[in-house]
């Protein structure tokens, strides 16, 4: 197995609040890992630590065996390899859809303008947004924004994509279009780490599911194991509450 990321004993505290406690797991090439858990269990913080938007307090994050927390990999270069899709899209408001997908390529990866443009168009077509290249983010619906954000991340040719509740800010009728894009990415072999409340996605699309509770990984396994025969009573409780609420 081609290991891309290995998280070892990851700890994160905000002041005295220990939000992540001794997190261990690995991400291998082609993995689609769903992270589920109650609000406040530390899912976002985990993704943000992996992407270095937050500084982990302790532990190691190995990228192809190199510890990024110890500065063994250039931080900005590492970020181009580990893309992130946010709940709130975070498209650049001052750029058009096309330029959103180009600016990182030309300024960070130093690609030529026409190469970057071709690449941007390729991924915008993939997410079904190639007609909207001239629009500004404020002229798009939430689902459209999120699809552009996915194209922007893909245009950097990342090895792993992190998704932090990519559909939570969307109106219900737009959730499907984004999940469809993510599903086709997964089928195309993209390595993904997805924090989600979409249990059907976690169950049907991912190959592994991580259930987090109180800053720990309470249980980890295949979707079958987690959804149909959870070992931990807390997992069982969470899933039953979740399905009865929905």
Ligand X SMILES: Nc1ncnc2c1ncn2[C@@H]1O[C@H](COP(=O)(O)OP(=O)(O)OP(=O)(O)O)[C@@H](O)[C@H]1O
Residues of the shown chain interacting with ligand X in the complex, contacts defined by CB under 6 A: 14, 17, 19, 37, 39-45
Helix 113-126 and helix 97-107, axial crossing angle in degrees, nearest 10: 130
Contacting residue, 44, 51, 144, 167, with Mg ion by CB under 5 A: 44
User: Residues near 214 by Cβ (< 8 Å), separated by ≥ 6?
Assistant: 21, 41, 42
Q: Which stretch binds other proteins (CB under 8 A): 11-19, 151-159, 203-211, 234-242?
A: 151-159
Which of Mg ion, other proteins, ligand X, none does residue 3 bind to, with CB < 5 to 8 Å depending on kind? Answer: none
Please, what is the minimum distance in Å from the beta carbon of residue 218 to ligand X? 13
User: Residues near 6 by Cβ (< 8 Å), separated by ≥ 6?
Assistant: 26, 27, 60, 61, 62, 65
Contacting residue, 139, 168, 184, 222, with other proteins by CB under 8 A: 139
Please, what is the minimum distance in Å from the beta carbon of residue 243 to Mg ion? 20
Please, what is the minimum distance in Å from the beta carbon of residue 93 to ligand X? 23
Asked if residue 48 lies in contact with residue 54, where contact means CB atoms within 8 angstroms, the answer is yes
Which residue is at the shortest CB distance from Mg ion? 44
Distance CA 64, CA 68 (A): 10
Please, what is the minimum distance in Å from the beta carbon of residue 19 to ligand X? 4
* Structure tokens belonging to residue 53: 């938007």
Based on CB atoms, which residue is closest to ligand X, 123 or 211? 211
Other Cβ atoms within 10 Å of 34 Cβ, number: 25
Closest C-alpha to 204, from 213, 212, 194:
194
* Structure tokens belonging to residue 236: 């069982």
**What is the size of the binding site for other proteins (CB under 8 A)?**
44
Site residues (CB under 8 A) for other proteins? 51, 53, 55, 71, 76-80, 83-84, 86, 88-94, 96, 103-104, 107-109, 118, 121-122, 125, 130-136, 139-141, 144, 149, 152-153, 156
């Amino acid at each position: 197995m081609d290991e891309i990321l290995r998280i070892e004993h990851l700890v994160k505290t905000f002041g005295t609040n220990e939000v992540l406690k001794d997190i261990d797991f690995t991400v291998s090439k082609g993995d689609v890992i769903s992270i589920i858990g109650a609000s406040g269990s530390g899912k976002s913080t985990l993704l943000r630590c992996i992407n270095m938007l937050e500084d982990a307090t302790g532990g190691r994050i190995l990228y192809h065996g190199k510890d990024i927390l110890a500065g063994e990999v250039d931080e900005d270069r590492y970020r181009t390899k580990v893309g992130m899709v946010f709940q709130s899209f975070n498209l650049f408001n001052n750029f058009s859809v096309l330029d959103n997908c180009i600016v990182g390529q030309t300024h960070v990866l130093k690609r030529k303008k026409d190469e970057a443009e071709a690449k941007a168009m390729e991924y915008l077509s993939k997410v079904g947004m190639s007609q909207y290249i001239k629009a500004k983010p404020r002229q798009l619906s939430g689902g459209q924004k999120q699809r552009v954000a996915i194209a922007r991340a893909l245009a950097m040719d990342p090895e792993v994509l992190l998704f932090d509740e990519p559909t939570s800010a969307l109106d219900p009728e737009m959730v499907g279009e984004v999940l469809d894009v993510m599903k086709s990415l997964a089928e195309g072999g993209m390595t993904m780490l997805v924090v989600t409340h979409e249990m059907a996605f976690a169950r049907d699309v991912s190959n592994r599911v991580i259930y987090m509770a109180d800053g720990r990984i309470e249980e980890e396994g295949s979707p079958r194991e987690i959804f149909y025969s959870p070992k931990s009573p807390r997992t069982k409780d969470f899933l039953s509450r979740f399905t009865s609420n929905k």
